[in-house]
A and B are shown apart, each in its own frame.
Chain A
Amino acid sequence: MLSYIWIGMMAAAVAMGICTGRLAEVGGAAMAGAQDAVELIFSLAGPMLLWSGAAELMRRGGVLSALSRAVWRPISGILRLPAVENELRENICLNVSANILGLGNAATPPGLAAAKALGSRKGDSLERFIILNTASLQLIPTTVAALRAGLGAESPYDICPAVWLTSAAALAVAMFCAVLCGRGKK
């Protein structure tokens, strides 16, 4: 997917450059963009390292497992899963809470295991679980905040309240659609 998008972006830029006679600028921008990447990585590095350190602290401090226990009630309601075997329950909770804490790498393996287990069940819990994962549950937008800090934002984390409201609204809309679609099928 990324490969096609990348080629598409460059092809579109060159084609448009030929049409508008800005091909020289397009060529120059390629170099500038590559240089931008290196500078950006350096400005991202501090906040990102700080955050990954904090993430490991949270994991070892038991925040992840505490959150895992707390999320089951609301999540089982959203997924319409009353009682399930322990392993599935743990995987779902771990997936959701790792997403909330922004530990993307920790969220995927239990998430895929849960999808596999849900796939063998009747009903639309699997569909709802996937939709839940296509929505952003992240409590603290670490990468974007690091990006904002790198670009010299006054207060990189002040977008948080807007992010929470927006994610909640997006999740609500997606789940509402899921309820409608699930009902239409029966």
Chain B
Amino acid sequence: MKLLSAASALLPALILLISALLAARRCNAFDAFAAGAEEGIGMLKRLLPTLCGLLCATAMLRASGLPEAIAALLRPITEPLGIPEACVTLFLLRPFSGSASLALAKDCMSAAGVDSFAGRVAAVLMSASETTLYTAAVYSAAAGRRVSRYVILCGLAGDLAAMVFSVLCVRGLQ
């Protein structure tokens, strides 16, 4: 459990350390912090319309009962892997859309409980994987030559591993 509390102290420790470093070099640490925080406002402003549309859609989805139906359908696959049913739709959409999966992760965390097993698995999977298809598309377009198709397969294999390991790690480290 020591490891877990150390992780919680990471952010304050980091801020203190770097501020001290900057102050020692006679740079204004607080100005730097404030300038960065101001950029955060822009991030929040861009995020709100996206979240509004997507949380609306995920709330409709949950009210319709479709996620449970899909989870029941996939039970033969998810049960042996120990994947919580509340996370199934999140797992399915994770490689396709970053903001849609963020909305689904929020949904899963607030429905199952943020500190519950399913809520933690959702948080870990969300953090430990990327929007594979989007990233691969953007970088392939920038490359200016044909990119081997196996890139997508490898990326998705990584996502699959992230799903399995998020369940294992949350169970193992609790």
Contact = CB atoms under 8 A, between A and B. Distances in A.
A and B together in one complex: yes
Interface of A: 1-2, 5-6, 9-10, 12-17, 20, 22, 25-34, 36-38, 40-41, 44-45, 48-63, 108, 111-113, 115-116, 118-120, 124, 126-127, 129-131, 133-136, 138, 140-141, 143-144, 147-148, 151-163, 165-167, 169-175, 177-178, 181-182, 185
Report, nearest first, the 9 A-B pairs whose CB atoms are least far apart: A56-B36, A33-B59, A174-B158, A141-B127, A52-B40, A119-B143, A134-B155, A29-B63, A181-B150
Contacts of A61: 18, 21-22, 32
Contacts of A2: 97, 99-100
A152 B142 contact: no
Contacts of A135: 129-130, 155, 158
A57 B23 CA distance: 11
Interface residues of B, number: 97
B124 A162 contact: yes
Given A53-B32, A130-B155, A169-B161, 10 more contacts: A10-B61, A33-B59, A52-B43, A56-B35, A112-B138, A135-B130, A136-B130, A140-B11, A144-B127, A177-B157
B165 A127 contact: no
B14 interface: yes
Contacts of B14: 54, 58
A169 B124 CA distance: 13
A53 B36 contact: yes
A72 B1 CA distance: 33
Contacts of A162: 120, 124, 166, 169-170, 172-173
Given A57-B22, A170-B162, A126 B36 contact: no
Contacts of B39: 52, 56
12 contacts: A52-B39, A56-B37, A127-B147, A127-B154, A136-B162, A141-B123, A157-B11, A159-B127, A163-B128, A167-B127, A170-B159, A185-B148
A17 to B, nearest CB: 4
Most buried by B among A26, A56, A62: A56
A33 B55 contact: yes
Contacts of A60: 22, 27, 32
Dominant secondary structure at the B interface? helix
B19 interface: yes
A171 B158 contact: yes
Contacts of B145: 119-120, 126
B81 interface: no
Contacts of B142: 112-113, 115-116, 119
A161 B18 contact: no
A98 B135 CA distance: 15
A49 to B, nearest CB: 4
B124 A163 contact: yes
Contacts of B32: 53, 56-57, 60-61
